[in-house]
Structure 1
Amino acid sequence: MPSTGQSQVLRRRRRTTRLLALTAGAVTVGALAAAALPGTARAGESGRGGGHGPARYQDVQLLSFNDLHGNLEPPAGSSGRVTEDLPDGTTRTLDAGGVEYLATHLRTARKGHAYSVTAAGGDLVGASPLLSGLFHDEPTIEALNGLGLDVTSVGNHEFDEGARELARLQKGGCHPTDGCYTDKRFKGADFPYLAANVLDERTGKPLLKPYWVWQKKDVKIGFIGVTLESTPDIVSAEGVKGLTFEDEAETINKYARELERKGVKSIVALIHEGGFPASASYNADCDAPGAGAGVSGPIVDIARKISPQVDALVTGHTHNAYVCTIPDPAGKPRMVTSAASFGRLYTDTTLTYDRRTGDIARTAVRSANRVVTRDVPKAPDMTRLIGRWDALAAPIGNRAVGHISGDIGNTGTESPLGDLIADAQLDHAKSLDPSADLALMNPGGIRAPLTYAAQGAEGDGVVTYAEAFTVQPFANTVNLQDYTGAQLVQVLKEQVSGANEAAPKILQVSSGLTYTLDLTKSGADRVVAGSIRLNGAPIDPAATYRVAANSFLAGGGDGFTTLGQGTDPLVGADDLAALEQYLTAHSSATAPLDPPKADRITILD
């Protein structure tokens, strides 16, 4: 959080202008071929054998995206690229993302489509870069209003600051502690957040609207929004206090029946849960035969349980790109899509509405992911929006906090940036308690790489406060607790067993802690017995170790229940401050910090 002096800078009242709905030209990536409806009239034709009434079938354009995470400016490094399959069998990477370009692409895509609706799959805010996160994501909500978003589900990150803050983002008003950032009251979202499976424990009713119906003339499509049932496992306890999260499929089926009773037979589910495609390319053929296609993960089981009444699923959470069909309970293919993350892609889906039945002709549904390329004109209203908020953030964000000699990435089982953050937290912990032994960092808490040639005006290798904020935007504290050696071993096993067996969460470890991970085995056996050492000495099951971890992990988050059982707690500064202090103390313009070697975990595969 900013200091008192910084808050005074941020709270200087600035006049804002309303967002303008400007239309800009652009060229988008090619679409999939349309499926024909044999013997029937298409949109724009008469379905009455020569009459002059509306056609029986009406194509409705559904534009969707997910997991924006407040990335208003083009994301840096690998976070701002997508991989594309080329016709000759090779691949290439494309720079992508940024709301100035996303707005242009969406507005161009809508041209010529009288029936168009835009939806999202959650995590539009939270874990945001400084430009939005410093202002509790008000800038992102304003941008989404300008993008023409019609409806979204909640995601887990919409609960980072709790239910009251989510309600403020929906309804508007100044922040309860920081106040108003400009001389105009924040008006909130123009679109509804849907939270069908998030219940208020006191009332047993959904926290927000469970569904919303889009209608144009006689065409009606219902949207049901849910987030993953396991949200309490990946959000701080304070963020989900007083809330209950229900099963995704059961909830969708419940409200699909309710919509049917109200005469809405065309239904789209917005689900903040996702899958893992076999290919990393955004345009891979997910339904092609062979080992190089298909999707796995939680969304597969959820999709197979969702009623055939639901016609398409827009998903998210895993930050992957896919356009797949997964059979519904009746065995019929149904479209399931995800548009990666950070505004790098959007999905263009055509839903063919049958006016005679009021339902979607699912055999005619077609969909494709499109790249938000940066070779189109920037949307002027988005440029102005970014400029307004950047003027408030710049005095804080542009401050140099360190220097690096090269890119410090956040990918891989063990990442250089993960090691750096763990070292920073151990360094901070030792400043509070010299008996601190080691630090552990969850990979999901590392939101972006540190890049040597970062965007902006700073020189190469300079790390600004804004860049550090983008890496660690959660404002977790660095907590110290005591654990036995046996508990520490159990923590490492929990990376690859229990709640994390299907999708391991490999903790990033501070210097001095080493062990071997055998990925050819399964479950807890993947942590090789006897390989765990601290400063070269085997872990003693009966000894006590002082461990630093962020407050989310220290509370048992991400399935690390044993970390929630520590004793003798001591709360330090926030994790961003720990990183800033470490960078400042261990680097300079003449002696930049080298990327860690990421050699603390030996991988056998």
Structure 2
Amino acid sequence: MHLRHRHRLAASGLVLAAAGALALAPPAAQAAPDEHGGQPGHGHGRTVDLQVLALNDLHGALEPPTGSNGELLHEHEDGSTEVIEAGGVEYLAGALAEAREGERRSVTVAAGDLVGATPLLSGLFHDEPTIEALNELGMDVAGVGNHEFDEGYAELVRLQEGGCHPEDGCYVEGREFAGADFPYLAANVVDEDTGRPILAPYTVQNLRGVKVGFIGVTLEGTADIVTQEGIEGLEFLDEVETINHYTEVLERRGVNAVIALVHEGGYPASEAYNHDCDAAGGGLSGPIVEIAERTHAGVDALITGHTHEPYVCTVPDPDGNDRLVTSAASNGRLFTELSMSYDRRAQDIVRTSVTGSNVVVDRDREPATELTELLDFWRELAAPVANAPIGWISGDIPGRDAGTHEFPAGDLIADAQLAHARALDESADLALMNAGGVRADLTYAASGDEGDGVVTYGEGFTVQPFSNTVNLLDYTGEQLLAVLTEQVTGENEATPKILQPSDGFSYTLDLTATGADRIVADSVTVNGEPLDLSATYRVAVNSFLAGGGDGFPTLGEGANPVVGNDDMAVLADYLTANSSADAPLDPPTADRITVIE
């Protein structure tokens, strides 16, 4: 089974001559169009079927993800639920190929974060394995997400265009990375000086004479959640204004069928991937709702991401007409299958025909041979590093999916960073770790040939994949209190981002209060002493937070910086120094923050 499907007669939005030379059929007598410009009915061959298969937030999860990262909640008709395991790019490729069978017009797309925050198998090689896997499984179009900028704009361009890594070079002599076969779209990411998009803003896919335009945008707040060095000189524009502009550009070029790939998301009422979002008690909340309500009525569907949630929901467009908004969770556990009719006279999608559902990437099927061979190639290169033991644990150490504001893996990383900071400067007082930077659990159960409780470098890298440095800075007590309030105010007020504290730093978080009052100021202690607002404290944070990331501008104001080691190396050193086969490390109890709810 060869998985690549070559129907990519796409015209890039930047190639204006190609985009402007669409061969349009002359107008013919038409029945009255529906409210979206589509034509009713399927008679006389006027309509043809289209299939759109969509992914989001793959994050380089090439191998079957473990723990909660590889689980889905399935809802039965009687209301009961069960947890099922899913994911793995070998199974994803097979599932997509199966979905395409019998479809004459099918296109596979993605809404960002395909790379970045990736497990070691991809991250060790700057995500070249993920791009090659996406080429093999037949990706046609992808919008950028915030994680596409983890290694900076120049590296994103390399992933698109190919070439060996500027520092690490080619990983095998004579084998040069070819880049993505599909276009990355970045309509709302522009050069500050020229105002021009850094990559194509849209593409037009020609599916056997049917032309469908795709516009790709990332969330406007991307600059707040990526390392600043890599996006210097870039500006991230409003998502809706950008989509609306390019929808009109496409319409002027005769392309009426438009789908937006939006790396921003929402939160469904149920965690079950198959929950009926439009039933009583269903519904969708979060930033994507307002975006969908304001996005041009000429857009026929919004494929979204970022929040890692599964949903297929109806949100009215600005004209009050229903429109699908979808997301396929994360890590390749699901893909969304959208079916629709295209009216050839109106040259548009019949909006009322659009249906969608999220499809589980189960592991009961045979893995796709081509993907298995590709993964085996990269596994062989990665094995010497990936399989090296770095520590031992006595039980599972849950990450951010633990369902609590403070969680054991976050505390473990903060403790490791404080230990490293004290090796640099013995006066270091505390460490703070952003919850979003903890990408997975550390699991006790054996994986591969390792024994129970063994932590390999590959497992540690899955938890800490960003290659941030651990930085040491001075903050006043007043600034530290401001940092704590930034967890629950400003852009973090609606969805608090609780920093994970090192041992010896504690306070009370009162979620029954509002705004800054949710931080009980007189409860904050540092190594057993009350926080002194006029004192100076030496604090360890990763380089992302040190740049003010995740909505913590005060952390960007630290003084007397010292740059330490890579955060993954810091975690590995801590585990090696504080555990052994005979004395494994116990999971932290995650009781440093007292939470009132």
Pick aligned residue for 1:535 from 527, 531, 549: 527
Task: Find the residue that maps to 1:238 and give its secondary structure.
Answer: helix
| Alignment check: 8 A CA contact 1:427 1:582 kept | yes
Alignment correspondent of 1:507 = 499
Counterparts of 1:455 and 1:353 in 2: how far apart (Å)?
47
- Give a deviation string over 1:85-110, Cα, whole Å, max 9, x none: 01121100111100010001000010
Distance (whole Å) between structure 2 residues aligned to residue 120 and residue 348 of structure 1:
12
Q: Does 1:518 align with 2:507?
A: no
Q: Distance in 2 between matches of 1:294 and 1:379?
A: 36
SS at match of 2:254: coil
Of 313, 325, 343, 2:332 maps to 343
Residue 120 of structure 2 is aligned with which of 121, 130, 144?
Answer: 130
Whether the 8 Å CA contact 2:39–2:346 is kept in 1: the answer is no
Decide whether the 8 Å contact of 1:76 with 1:454 is kept in 2: no
Contact 2:432 2:539 in 1 (8 A): yes
Q: Which residue of 1 aligns with 2:82?
A: 92
Per mean C-alpha deviation after superposition, the further-off stretch among 118-127 and 217-226 is 217-226
Distance 2:39 2:305 in 1: 36
Cα drift, residue 525 of structure 1: 1.3
Q: Deviations over 1:327-382 (max 9, x none)?
A: 11111111000000010000011121111211111111110001111111010111
Mapped partners of 1:128, 1:496: distance in 2: 28
CA distance in 1, matches of 2:292, 2:229: 30
Alignment of 1:153-232 (within 5 A): 153-182=143-172, 183-232=174-223
2:366 maps to amino acid: P
The answer on 1:369 being equivalent to 2:358 is yes
1:447 partnered with 2:436: no
TM-score (norm 2): 0.92
With normalisation by structure 1, the TM-score equals 0.91
Q: Provide the rounded CA distance (Å) in 2 between the counterparts of 1:269 and 1:469.
A: 33
C-alpha deviation, 1:454, in angstroms: 4.1
* Cα pair 1:22 1:379 within 8 Å, conserved: no
- The residue aligned with 1:596 is 588
Distance between the aligned counterparts of 1:98 and 1:455, measured in 2? 15
- Spell out the pairing of 1:441-590 with structure 2 (5 A cutoff): 441-590=433-582
Conserved 8 A contact 1:482-1:545: yes
Secondary structure at the counterpart of residue 531 of structure 1: strand
Q: Percent identity of the aligned residues?
A: 64
Counterparts of residues 94-133 of structure 1 (less than 5 Å): 94-133=84-123
**Equivalent position of 1:278 in the other structure:** 269
Deviates more, 1:313-322 or 1:517-526: 517-526
Which amino acid is the alignment partner of residue 265 of structure 1? N
**After superposition, where does 1:57-72 map in structure 2 within 5 Å?**
57-72=47-62
Deviates more, 1:525-534 or 1:277-286: 525-534
CA distance in 2, matches of 1:114, 1:399: 47
How many residue pairs get aligned? The number is 561
Secondary structure, counterpart of 1:177 in structure 2: coil
Q: Which runs of 4+ in 1 moved over 3 A?
A: 38-42
- Is the contact between residue 22 and residue 381 of structure 1 (CA under 8 Å) also seen in structure 2? no
Three-state SS of the structure 2 residue aligned to 1:532 is strand
1:216 positional shift: 2.0
1:405-416 paired onto structure 2 within 5 Å: 405-410=394-399, 411=402, 412-416=404-408
Contact 1:199 1:207 in 2 (8 A): yes
Indicate if the aligned counterparts of 2:305 and 2:329 stay in contact, CA closer than 8 A: yes
Cα separation, 2, equivalents of 1:430 and 1:20 = 54
Gaps of 5+ in 1: 1-18, 24-37, 49-54
Cα-Cα RMSD = 1.4
Q: Does 1:21 align with 2:3?
A: yes
Instruction: Say which of 425, 430, 433 aligns to 2:425.
Output: 433
Letter in 2 for 1:508: Q
Matched to 1:418, the amino acid is G
Letter in 1 for 2:460: A
1:141 aligns with 2:123: no
> Aligned equivalents of 1:332 and 1:112: distance in 2?
31
1:31 alignment counterpart:
none
3-state SS, counterpart of residue 220 of structure 2: coil
1:355 is matched with 344
Distance 1:446 1:502, change over 3 A: same
CA distance in 1, matches of 2:447, 2:279: 38
Matched, 1:250 2:241: yes
